[in-house]
């Protein structure tokens, strides 16, 4: 991904390697959340995981939209990008907290919580650099 940013005719507002790592972390969180939602659906007590599933799906969608927005280097609207990162940080915080509540019983929730916490920090770091 860093090579794609390097070859882009427009330069990123932040260093390409840092941006590539951020996009990869946010995209990875989206995928992890999708997998966690699917794993929750396979659990015996699925009714107890409804909130977790919904937050997983919300987090996956918002993370993917944020990663896509960050990957577009051409004259991004800073206000929109800031709002996307704030939303991503918030949903990762909520999803991470919910998954932590199920982490002792479901390993996939533990993994998801870690990914969400990492993504939350990535978004916070990007926001501080805007």
Give the tens place of pLDDT for each residue, 79-129.
998 999 999 999 999 999 999 999 999 999 999 999 999 999 999 999 998
Top pLDDT among 58 and 5 is at: 58
Q: What's the mean pLDDT in 67-72? A: 90
Domain at 16-129: CATH code = 1.20.1270.360
Report CA-CA distances (Å) from 38 to 53, 54, 94.
8, 11, 18
In the prediction, which pLDDT does 76 show? 73
CA–CA gap between residue 44 and residue 8 (Å, rounded): 48
In the prediction, which pLDDT does 35 show? 98
In the prediction, which pLDDT does 8 show? 63
In the prediction, which pLDDT does 7 show? 62
Domain residue spans of the chain: 16-129
In the prediction, which pLDDT does 87 show? 98
CA–CA gap between residue 51 and residue 105 (Å, rounded): 16
Q: Say yes or no to pLDDT of 74 above 80.
A: no
Report CA-CA distances (Å) from 20 to 29, 68, 73, 104.
14, 12, 12, 33
Residue pair 60/31 in contact (Cβ under 8 Å)? The answer is yes
In the prediction, which pLDDT does 14 show? 60
In the prediction, which pLDDT does 130 show? 77
Residue pair 82/130 in contact (Cβ under 8 Å)? The answer is yes
Structure tokens at 89: 């940080």
Q: What are phi and psi of 42, to 5 degrees?
A: -90, -5
Structure tokens at 110: 């533990």
In the prediction, which pLDDT does 18 show? 79
In tens, the pLDDT along 9-66 reads 566 566 556 788 999 999 999 999 999 999 999 999 999 999 999 999 999 999 999 9
State the residue for tokens 């969400």.
116
CA–CA gap between residue 53 and residue 48 (Å, rounded): 10
């Amino acid at each position: 991904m860093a090579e794609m940013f390097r070859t882009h005719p427009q330069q990123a507002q932040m260093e390409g390697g840092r941006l590539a790592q951020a996009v990869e972390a946010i995209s990875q969180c989206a995928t992890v959340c999708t997998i966690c939602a699917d794993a929750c659906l396979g659990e015996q007590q699925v009714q107890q995981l409804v909130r977790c599933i919904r937050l997983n799906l919300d987090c996956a969608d918002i993370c993917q939209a944020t990663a896509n927005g960050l990957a577009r280097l051409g004259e991004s609207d800073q206000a929109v990008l800031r709002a996307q990162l704030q939303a991503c940080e918030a949903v990762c915080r909520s999803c991470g907290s919910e998954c932590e509540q199920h982490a002792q019983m479901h390993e996939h929730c533990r993994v998801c919580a870690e990914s969400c916490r990492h993504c939350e920090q990535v978004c916070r770091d990007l926001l501080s650099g805007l």
